[in-house]
Structure 1
């Protein structure tokens, strides 16, 4: 399917899903006694956005059209889209990335790798544009998984989250964490429509994960953000870690994620990694080129 057709189809599916989740009372409309449609009617959305019902219908049907930014903003207000969703539909229609991006292995500056190692015992890792794990320190490998021990094409946070049973044991709030990660992946994929790394990874996830097959049609988009994660470790129990996400200046698609625990838990993590001296200095090598 041509990229323009696929993006128009995705825009239409997103608009329909958001229309169906809104109730008339939420937008100040009356509900008639014989209302059978789920959510709002198409003509009601068109009225709220001040566009013609036919034009809106064409958009929702996925026809190849190029609505203006003003129209997209009006639809965002009418459908009560959040900031991430509003940005996403603008990316779908008006994003102007290269038609195709070379499928080459990502490189990480040695200074960044050294920084990740120095952050021990604070867990830290770096992910690339498709969430390949490009570097991780001992603390992160002890709490998540041993990335360097995996096959190169399996060193990916999404593949680990959705296909490795260990992820459901490690992530205390697995459904929420997995759904948010998939939403961040969708947002990034919209910025790189010609990058086959995204489509290849998505195909693999659809094949392997029933949750991906269920959640992807919901068109959830999630921005990068800091926050709190709860991890479960067989020796340390449940840890609550605050994390910060930093985008690297040389390549904003590469994300450095660092975690902080309470002083007591940080000391326990330090003791844990001291017991595994053979892991010292290991970092994840860049994954192979995505084709």
Structure 2
């Protein structure tokens, strides 16, 4: 039986409800909406514990996914719902970029680390990307305000994996008034110095290296200084992308030390870059955000 709050969400004119499934003591929802930032339809998933469904304001986590992913990956594979149900936490997973549809022709690239599924959560300045690839504005302004207005949210923390870990760190450091907590899983820590990031930023920003710097999480925290009482980062010690130099975790560690930003950095022995790793540590990240929300 659908409760009154869930029923009111299904009738919201800004949001189109795509699906609802009962999951532990809560519901897993999917919504789409028309975005002014990306000029496309955007989709997100949101887990609502029973407390939120009853109208009580709950702490929320915004989870930003990695390259090639969409809202489904973390929702289906990370197994976060049980811990969110236990703690009364909301978790939102937006898509990683605008996408082409019958109504919109969004630019793309044959490389998996550029284009659709690879926004890096920045606002592109170069054609043809700048019309649609405005994911920083989408996340911190449009989606943020939509979530605050349409769901019973007390506070929002931000986390993410890989490219999404970069996004969580970057947006958390740039917009501390928006987020009460930050964490990341296997993040791209210095996007302007990784092969992935350099390829994407050449497309999105051209040769303006100042914009590259502003879209690099390690350089951002060094510039702005301490923003949070603690941030949590987990990294698989057997991650092939760490060995290849795409993640550059040590640069974040050095930057946080210079910025006097407390950092709990954990290398997890034997773990790779996959969702098996995310399943292993996701509950610790949910608890981190829950504790930070209690202090906000």
Bin the TM-score by the shorter chain. Answer: under 0.3
Q: Which has the higher contact order (CA 8 A, sep 6+)?
A: 1
Q: Which has the larger strand fraction? A: 2
- Which has the greater radius of gyration? 1
TM-score relative to the length of structure 2: 0.23
Q: Which has the larger helix fraction? A: 1
